[in-house]
Structure 1
Amino acid sequence: MDEIAFGTDGWRETLDVFTDDRVRMVAQGVATYLDEAGRSGETVAVGYDARETSEGFADEVARVLASNGFDVLLPERDCPTPLVAHAIVERDLAGAVVITASHNPPEYNGVKFIPADGAPALPEVTEAIESHLDEPTVKPEADWGEVEEVDFVSPHREHALDLVDADLSGLTVVYDAMHGSGRGVTDELLRAAGAEVISLRDERDPDFGGTPPEPDYANLEGLEIAVDEYDADLGVANDGDADRVAAVAPDRGYLDGNQFFALLYDYLLETRSGPAVRTVSTTFLVDRIAEAHDADVVEVPVGFKWVAEAMGDHDALVGGEESGGYSVRGHVREKDGVLMALYAAAAANDGGIDERLDRISQEYGDIHQEKTSLDCLEERKQPVLRELADRLPETVAGERVERVNDADGFKILLADGSWLLVRPSGTEPKMRVYAEAGSQERVAELLDAGRDLVEPLI
């Protein structure tokens, strides 16, 4: 039990720790939690990603839940996490368990619980599950639930096409599945909307071709090349369980998560209105766009569970984070890289991605952001933050500190509008250092200052 701890987005570990016995204990914790929440005997979805071990772990979870009296719905094959979240709401389920380690390397696996509202579980839920970790309980066989395979793809596709409502005829998109669960799902959604789609890395490979299924700049060179080779209007990629998205524009190339957020919000505001929710690590460019449309921005700690909660509280038009996870009003409040690929294509079809980003830059100015990571043992994270609280500087890289936001680590806001953020990773033994400013040179200076501030404390 001591090895099981839910972090920012579930429990992830290497396969020497992530074992059948521990997964069954998590499943029992979920069953007991649902019983105490008044959902006994209801139906639960169990999804899984494309990793070699995921289907087997999902079967174990399904057995435990069924032996506790719950009916269980399994997908017909490995399935994007957002499709499982959508199935919860679409089918009025008690919740879902998803076996996935998302973008982590193949030697990892993970498990997450999604409650009945389809949004990420908040700490009070995961803490309750952790408190109920135990060896599986087996009811009399006559009281067991049924396990059934169903189609999670078609209902999500119909919903996405209705929500985005775009005719993509004449648009060419290159889609990189990175060997993950988005293959045959995201590309088929784009085709259903009328786009011509060229698919890359679209066969299942539990080793992800030797590259972790992380859709960042370093791993998407092939997508950039293909966009140029096929003279495509857009390139999109998903991570391993397709809850995140990345994009490539014909001229600009790879777009980071902040650029994608700005692109998405700007596109949505052409026909709708409403506030945006962003994490503390996400760009102030979103704030500039919101201000121009008399809209508010709600800032929350890192973790999509906090984005989702604030989206519900503020009826937000969009919510997102710089790591590539977004959702929109009218959809479940879980990040969805499949749906966001369709939104990116719709934006590309409406005037072009490069043109839209050029206009955003002209109207709101250039903002640059980067981050770095420093190794930090788990037991040192909180002591580092406590020591940093006593050493917060009055100036950073020659600029006066105006205020400090301590909602998630320390976000140091400077007089020139730039900022530096230091926070502990929720998934790895690292401290994260982020910086945002008006130029890459200034970002580099701020990151150097951040490292100098934190390294002596680790």
Structure 2
Amino acid sequence: MGTDADAIEFGTDGWRATLDVFTTPRVRMVGQAVATYLDGDGPVAVGYDARDSSRGFAEDLARTLAGNGIEVLLSERDCPTPVVGWAVRDHDLAGALMVTASHNPPNYNGVKFIPEGGAPALPEVTDRLEELLAEPETVPELDHGSVSETDFVEPYLEHVLEFVDADLSGLTIAYDAMHGSGRDVTGDLLERAGADVIELRCERDPEFGGTPPEPEADRLHDLIETVTEGEADLGIANDGDADRISVVTPEEGFLDPSLQYAVLYEYLLEDGSGPAVRTVSTSSILDKVARAHGEEVFETAVGFKWVAQAMEDHDALMGGEESGGFGITSHLRNKDGVLIALLAAAAEAERPIDDRIAEIHDEHGHVFQDRISVACPDARKDGVLEELDGALPDELAGAAVASVNTVDGFKITFEDDTWVLVRPSGTEPKLRVYAEADSPERVEALLDAGRDLVEPLV
């Protein structure tokens, strides 16, 4: 196909690149690939995040699709990815294209294809799209599809308020949009449910205030301070396209996403039932909560597309990952940091999340997790994993190996549910080594053992 197409590669969650690579001609090629893949089916939604370039790229995609005879619903404003995903399901669309680089810095942009149903595209779809990349084609002008500016946000908010039974009266919530597309959406949702909302970074800033819109603890100082100093009962932050969420509580401060998952799942089990799905790198605290309720947990490779598929395969109640992406199967098999914000607030309104966490710790103990990276050229990743296969020790860091899971790299689990995971990074020339145990010291020992296992092989 040539250099333009060669630069386009759909990774874990769509195609992302710096703006010197993510160019209008290549974006139009993606639009043409989707048009060819859909073979005239429509309508198709096109959404975009708050980056300076996103609206223009969305219009390029809309024109390309319309030029192929496909009706296009173009979002009238930048909006969260889950809002566009819901629109696909709600309007029974053939799919959607979302222009977003999520939590990446402002010099990036990206695009993801959401197939019919609203779940993430599986590799069989994105591989086919890569094969179909081509310069835009057009049908005769009389056969062009229309491009209609559409409000995706209001129908979504109305649905979520019906889906989550939440009375937040008397609750004060600090909400940090990180200048992203959750502004005027997540905060508005919480207010409509009765909460008093303190807004932080809820103005549009395509530069995101100079920090990537990724809701990690070291980027949420004002939110954490607002909550821990007693100005709010709960803190919530979304990433740039609001498909992920972070939660802050008065006692815990920044809440570990795996612990957040355990709290939300247990809250849903008060009135519901069903297994949970998690990635291999998500904490086993979820498994302990599930077992206490007679439920199962299914483990997948890293990447929400795998979580979403398992949510369908196992009729799961909920799916999630350690990076703060969670979805409710009966709503949408995709990450939704907006709906989950309302769900977390509803749990808080019923009984403080800090009390729920204390109960989990009392019943199941404390779990600690960390990860390190080992430099590894992309060309060596497969070789390292092949050499590990069949050569893993029976004992590691002084403990006997109970089982090895190979769904994504090698996850070595011990009799006490502690574990070490070695897997290749999907975005950097590195191997990731994760560890989980009942003390920080044990985690450090397991990480050291994991590093010693893989470094000689690189």
Pairwise mapping of residues 363-382 of structure 1 onto structure 2 (< 5 A)?
Answer: 363-382=363-382
Contact 2:236 2:248 in 1 (8 A): yes
TM-superposed CA distance for 1:105, in Å, is 1.2
Aligned partner of 2:35 in structure 1 is: 31
The equivalent of 1:13 in structure 2 is 17
Q: Distance in 1 between matches of 2:141 and 2:296?
A: 54
Q: Could you tell me which residue of structure 2 aligns to residue 233 of structure 1? A: 233
Give the equivalent residue in structure 1 for 2:426.
426
2:8 is matched with: 4
- Aligned-partner Cα distance in 2 for 1:320–1:281: 11
Q: What TM-score, normalized to structure 1?
A: 0.97
Deviation (angstroms), 1:299: 0.9
Decide whether the 8 Å contact of 2:228 with 2:253 is kept in 1. Answer: no
Asked if 2 retains the 8 angstrom alpha-carbon contact of 1:411 and 1:420, the reply is yes
* C-alpha contact 1:50 1:206 (8 A) present in aligned 2: yes
Q: Give how far 1:303 is off.
A: 0.8
One-letter code aligned to 2:16: R
Code of the residue aligned with 2:356 in structure 1: it is R
Residue in structure 2 matched with residue 138 of structure 1 by the alignment: 138
1:201-247 per-position Cα deviation (integer Å, ceiling 9, x unaligned): 11111111111111111111111011134531100000010000000
Residue 301, structure 1, aligned to residue 301, structure 2: yes
Which sections of structure 1, spanning at least 5 residues, go unmatched? none
Q: Is the 8 A contact 1:176 1:238 kept in 2?
A: yes
Q: Is residue 126 of structure 2 the alignment partner of residue 126 of structure 1?
A: yes
Report the 3-state secondary structure (helix = DSSP H, G, I; strand = E; otherwise coil) of the residue aligned with 2:6.
coil
Distance 2:374 2:178 in 1: 27
Look up the match of 1:265. Answer: 265
Deviation string for 1:57-112 (max 9, x for gaps)? 11111111110111111111111000000000111100001111111111111111
Q: CA deviation at 1:447?
A: 1.4
TM-fit CA distance, 1:373 = 2.5
Give, in whole Å, the separation in 2 of the partners of 1:240 and 1:373.
Answer: 25
Give the secondary-structure state (helix, strand or coil) at the position aligned to 2:169.
coil
* 2:87 corresponds to: 87
CA shift, 1:416, in A, is 2.8
CA contact (8 A) 1:163 1:330 kept: no
Q: Does 1:174 align with 2:210?
A: no
1:157 Cα deviation from its structure 2 partner: 0.7
**1:236-270, CA deviations, whole angstroms, 9 ceiling, x for partnerless residues?**
00001000000001111001110110110111111
Distance in 1 (CA, whole Å) between partners of 2:58 and 2:430 is: 30
Q: TM-score, normalising length from structure 2?
A: 0.97
Task: Tell me which amino acid in the other structure corresponds to 1:402.
Answer: A
Q: Which runs of 5+ in 2 are unaligned?
A: none
Shift of 1:141: 0.7
**How many angstroms does 1:456 deviate by?**
2.9
Query: Does the aligned pair in 2 maintain the 1:404–1:411 contact within 8 Å?
Result: yes
Task: Please state whether the residue corresponding to 1:89 is helix, strand or coil.
Answer: helix
Aligned residues: 454
Question: 2:443 & 2:456 partners in 1: Cα distance?
Answer: 21
Partner of 1:421: helix, strand, or coil?
A: strand
| TM superposition shift of 1:329 | 3.0
Q: Distance in 2 between matches of 1:358 and 1:352?
A: 10
Shift of 1:16: 1.4
Q: CA RMSD in A?
A: 1.2
In structure 2, the residue corresponding to 1:159 is in which secondary structure? helix
Q: Percent identity?
A: 62
Distance 2:452 2:322 in 1: 24
Displacement after TM superposition at 1:415 (Å):
2.7
Amino acid in the other structure paired with 1:15: L
Residue 321 of structure 1 and its aligned partner are, at CA, apart by 0.5
Give, in whole Å, the separation in 1 of the partners of 2:107 and 2:374.
22
